[in-house]
C-alpha cells in the first residue's frame, strides 16, 4: 500500500479550503460594504472604463444579462454610471465613478487585510512552498486543458483577489 495520498481526496480538500477561504474573504469585504463579486466588476472598470456592458460581461466571463443586475445595483449606489454609446445608442457604456473608485479601494483593502492575516501566519518557507504548489496546480490545470496559464502572474505576487 502506498503512502501517496489519493489525488481526488487532496483535490476535494483543496476545493473545500478554497471555498471556505473565498467565503471568509467575501464576508469580510461585504461587511465593509462591497462583496467580492461586486469588487470584480469595479476592478474591471478601473482598468478598462468606459466599457460597453457586453464587453464588461465578457471580461468577467459572464453572459451579458447575468451582469445586468449587478450593474443596475452598482449604478443605484452611485459606484458606476451608464451612458448611451455615441456609436450605438442602444448600447450602454459603463464607467467607474469617483465614489466607485473609493469603494473599490476600501473593498480591496479589506480583502487584502484578511488574506494577509490568514496567510501571514504561515512561516516563510511554508508560504513560499504554497505559492510554488499553487503554480504547479495552475500549470497542471492549464496543461490538461491545453490553455495558457490563468492570469500569467504566477510566482510574482501580482495575483488579483479570487
pLDDT of 32 > 60? The answer is yes
Q: What is the mean pLDDT of the chain?
A: 88
Q: How confident is the model at residue 156 (pLDDT cuts 50, 70, 90)?
A: very low
pLDDT digits (tens, 9 = 90+) for 80-114: 999 988 887 778 899 999 999 999 999 999 999 99
Burial of residue 11 (CB within 10 Å: 0-12, 13-18, 19+) is: exposed
pLDDT of 150 > 80? The answer is no
Residue 90 dihedral angles phi and psi, to the nearest 5° = -75, -20
Give CA–CA dist 57/67, Å, rounded: 6
Give CA–CA dist 84/124, Å, rounded: 51
Region 36-43 average pLDDT: 93
Amino acid at each position: 500500500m502506498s503512502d501517496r495520498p489519493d489525488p481526488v481526496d487532496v483535490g476535494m480538500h483543496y476545493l473545500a479550503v478554497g471555498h471556505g477561504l473565498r467565503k471568509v474573504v467575501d464576508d469580510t469585504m461585504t461587511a465593509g460594504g462591497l462583496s467580492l463579486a461586486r469588487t470584480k466588476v469595479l476592478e474591471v472598470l478601473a482598468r478598462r472604463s468606459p466599457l460597453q456592458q457586453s464587453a464588461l460581461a465578457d471580461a468577467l466571463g459572464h453572459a451579458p444579462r447575468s451582469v445586468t443586475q449587478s450593474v443596475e445595483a452598482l449604478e443605484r449606489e452611485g459606484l458606476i454610471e451608464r451612458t448611451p454609446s455615441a456609436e450605438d445608442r442602444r448600447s450602454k457604456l459603463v464607467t467607474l465613478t469617483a465614489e466607485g473608485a473609493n469603494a473599490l479601494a476600501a473593498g480591496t483593502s479589506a480583502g487584502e487585510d484578511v488574506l494577509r492575516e490568514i496567510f501571514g501566519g504561515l512561516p516563510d518557507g511554508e508560504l513560499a512552498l504554497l505559492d510554488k504548489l499553487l503554480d504547479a496546480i495552475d500549470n497542471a490545470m492549464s496543461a490538461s486543458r491545453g490553455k495558457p496559464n490563468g492570469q500569467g502572474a504566477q510566482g510574482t505576487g501580482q495575483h488579483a483577489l479570487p
